[in-house]
Structures are given as C-alpha cells and as structure tokens.
C-alpha cells in the first residue's frame, strides 16, 4: 500500500508539473479515477499528504480546490520521477494534449464569495488568460444564497458576461 500511495503522489506531482497552471482536485481525480489507478479515498489521502508535506499548495474556494506544485514538490519529483512507469507518463501526456484547453479554461475562471466586515456577502469573480487578469470584479449582495448563485452563474456564463461587458464598454 505504501509503495502504491507513493506512486499516486508522484503521479499527482507529475501532473502538476506538466500543467503550467493550477489544477483542481476534480481535474486530477478525473484522470486518475478514469484510468482506474486507485479509488477516490486513496486519492484524497495522497493529495492530503502532499499538502501536509508542503509539496503541493491548495487554494480553496466555495466550490473548488486548486492545487499547485511547490518548489519542494518539484525537487521531489526531480529525484523520484523516474519511478513513474513510462506508460503512465504517456497516459498523462496524452490526457493533457487532449484536454489542455478545457483544463486551462476551467482553471482560468475563479469565483468565490465571503462575508464582508459590513455583513454583506461579496462575490469575487475573475477570468484569467495565461496568468493575466482579463476581468476581476467584486459584487456586494445582502444574501449568501445570492452570492453563491452569482459564483455558480459566473462559472457557466463567464464568456457571455465578458463579451457583453466588452461590447458595452468599447
């Protein structure tokens, strides 16, 4: 079990190094579970141990957890990456080639909300392209349900909203 768990951790580190943008837990899970390398609980354990060891950083919003590789994680992968079977590396490389645009788009749209000091809820919405903010806005609303709805709608309708704003402002 320990050797298997180590392999799963190395796969996660390899995936995070391959991507030049943060991946969500669900994106990593999609690949690993689809390939049936392990089950959901073991995968969550591997991710948790990577975070606890400081090899991976986690940034959570109300609906997603983005993971990124730390310098220590990159060093660990450099030392032990050769323990990943070449066929697994090929599977990962193929996964990214086939899904890179989709994965990048999912990572570039961020929506989160929080309760402000005034008691209102603030929905913070961003859209990025290659690490550059295309739009970064915060909407203040009185109800948590409204803020959550705004975040959910931003995830689904961000392109339409962005195009509408550009059309109105230019």
pLDDT tens sequence across 128-155: 877 788 899 999 999 999 999 999 899 8
What pLDDT was estimated at residue 19?
A: 85
Q: Which residues contact 121 (CB under 8 A, 6 or more apart)?
A: 113, 114, 115, 140, 141, 142, 143, 144, 146, 147
Q: 2-107 — its CATH code? A: 1.10.10.10
For the segment 16-58, what is each residue's pLDDT rounded down to a tens digit?
Answer: 998 877 888 989 999 999 999 999 999 999 999 999 999 999 9
- What's the chain's average pLDDT? 90
Indicate whether this model's pTM tops 0.85. Answer: no
Angle at CA of residue 63, ends 60 and 115, nearest 5°: 75
Q: Where do you find CATH 1.10.10.10 in the chain?
A: 2-107
Cβ atoms of residues 73 and 55 within 8 Å: yes
For the segment 62-80, what is each residue's pLDDT rounded down to a tens digit?
Answer: 667 889 999 999 999 999 9
> Per-residue confidence at 2, pLDDT binned at 50, 70, 90?
low
> Per-residue confidence at 100, pLDDT binned at 50, 70, 90?
confident
What pLDDT was estimated at residue 35?
A: 93
What pLDDT was estimated at residue 1?
A: 46
Q: Identify which has the larger pLDDT, 42 or 159.
A: 42
Give the whole-angstrom CA distance, residue 82 versus residue 161.
45
Tell me the mean pLDDT in the region 101-125: 87
């Amino acid at each position: 079990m320990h050797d298997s768990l180590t392999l799963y951790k190395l796969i996660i580190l390899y995936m995070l190094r391959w991507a030049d943008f943060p991946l969500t837990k669900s994106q990593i899970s999609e690949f690993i579970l689809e390939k049936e390398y392990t089950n959901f609980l073991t995968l969550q354990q591997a991710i948790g141990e990577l975070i606890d060891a400081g090899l991976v950083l986690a940034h959570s919003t109300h609906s997603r957890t983005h993971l990124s590789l730390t310098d220590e994680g990159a060093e660990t992968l450099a030392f032990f990456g050769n323990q990943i079977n070449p066929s697994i590396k090929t599977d990962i490389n193929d996964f990214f080639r086939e899904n890179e645009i989709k994965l990048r788009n999912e990572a570039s749209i961020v929506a989160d909300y929080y309760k402000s000091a005034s008691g209102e809820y603030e929905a913070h919405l961003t859209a990025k392209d290659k690490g550059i903010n295309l739009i970064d806005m915060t909407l203040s609303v009185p109800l948590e349900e409204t803020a959550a709805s705004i975040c959910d709608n931003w995830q689904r309708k961000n392109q339409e909203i962005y195009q509408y704003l550009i059309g109105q402002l230019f």
